Amino acid sequence: MRRVGGEGARSSFADDVRRGLTATPKFLYPKYFYDELGSRLFEAITALPEYYVTRSEAEILRARAGEIVAALGGPLWLVELGSGDGQKTRLVIEALLARQETLEYVPVDISESAIETSSRSLLLSYPDLRITGYIGEYHAALRMIRKERVRPGRTLVLFLGSTLGNLDPKERLAFLRDVRNLLNPGEGFLLGVDLEKPESVLIPAYDDPLKVTAAFNLNLLVRIDRELGGGFDISTFRHRALYNGAEGRIEMHLESRRDQTVPIRGLGLEVSFAAGETIHTESSYKFRREQIAALAAETGFELRRTWTDSRGWFSSNLLIAT
Ligand SMILES: C[S@@+](CC[C@H](N)C(=O)[O-])C[C@H]1O[C@@H](n2cnc3c(N)ncnc32)[C@H](O)[C@@H]1O
């Protein structure tokens, strides 16, 4: 296991919370959802009937993983960004192990618990797998992987779950260029992207009746209370999910139910909220298919092929480094 960023992580959480809660409008970065409880809550979200994202992508990979890896030649090694619980990765790993005897898998995730739990479980299932996990942020981890990994074959990078949609347009381009920098021409990048669809499908996926997504969102305040000495009373905030049509994205917010001032001792800060005021905690952009080809071309890739699920809700895109 390799740790990326080390001690800097706690101070950047503090700095980012200060920055986000003193801004107008208030915001927090979604990467901070994923402490141990947050990672488990996200895993629970992926099992919700309303959260079509995971099931749609798994449907594609179940049917197409063999075809996808065959398109790249081999042998391959696998780098996965934001690997999470690694459940869908199993479909790609199995397709690769059907073509080669061993496989080196390099998961990258900001969540230490996600990397540890998923790696243990994958190693039990696949004796021919070798895993080196990187705990930290995409950019720093990619830089470290580029510097220190001996490449046991051609590279395939995975970025599943439409996590790309959590990045704003500028971050998205920088991220794709970072991935491109890891690759040699002809190597592959499998990018899972959620497609535009009616609001009547989107809203329940981000505001489920069991309130699991609400707990995932509110856990960010619990984390600030625990790690930064915050005084949030979470019963005075509620989860909101809305579709921002102009930006083409779902937004998640935490809305204050009343006027209040919340102390955050570790930051020496008091944060005032008006009733109805929100903290913007996550965006999930939804894409049109032609946007994906344009993004690929802009960042040094060619979009080789797109597969969709039977409802046409989700896309798996094979990008090739040019
Ligand atoms: C939306 S989840 C997707 C998980 C999994 N790939 C899937 O498809 O179910 C995003 C994952 O990326 C990780 N993550 C979020 N921001 C990150 C960052 N800046 N650097 C590294 N990992 C990050 C989270 O811990 C989480 O596991």
Q: Indicate if 182 and 297 belong to the same structural domain.
A: yes
Query: Does any domain span residue 82?
Result: yes
78 C-alpha to ligand 1 centroid (Å):
16
- Same domain, yes or no, for 66 and 167? yes
Whether 118 and 67 map to the same domain: the answer is yes
pLDDT mean by block of 10 residues, the chain; 322 residues: 75 94 98 98 98 98 98 95 98 98 97 97 98 96 92 94 98 98 97 98 98 98 98 98 98 98 98 98 98 98 98 98 98
What is the rounded CA–CA span in Å between residue 187 and residue 184? 6
87/159 same-domain check: yes
Question: Tell me, what's the pLDDT at 9?
Answer: 65
What domain range is 211 assigned to?
Answer: 2-33+199-285
* 177 and 211 share one domain: no
Same domain, 93 and 182: yes
CATH of the domain at 82: 3.40.50.150
Q: Helix H segments across the chain?
A: 8-21, 36-46, 52-70, 89-97, 112-125, 138-148, 169-182, 199-206, 212-228, 289-298
pTM above 0.95, yes or no: yes
Task: Say whether both 156 and 277 belong to one domain.
Answer: no
Q: Which atom of ligand 1 is nearest to the CA of 46?
A: 9
Q: How far is the CA of 279 from the centre of ligand 1 (A)?
A: 21
> Which atom of ligand 1 sits closest to the CA of residue 42?
2
| 152 and 224, same domain (yes or no) | no
Are 16 and 56 contained in the same domain? Answer: no
Structural domain total, the chain: 2
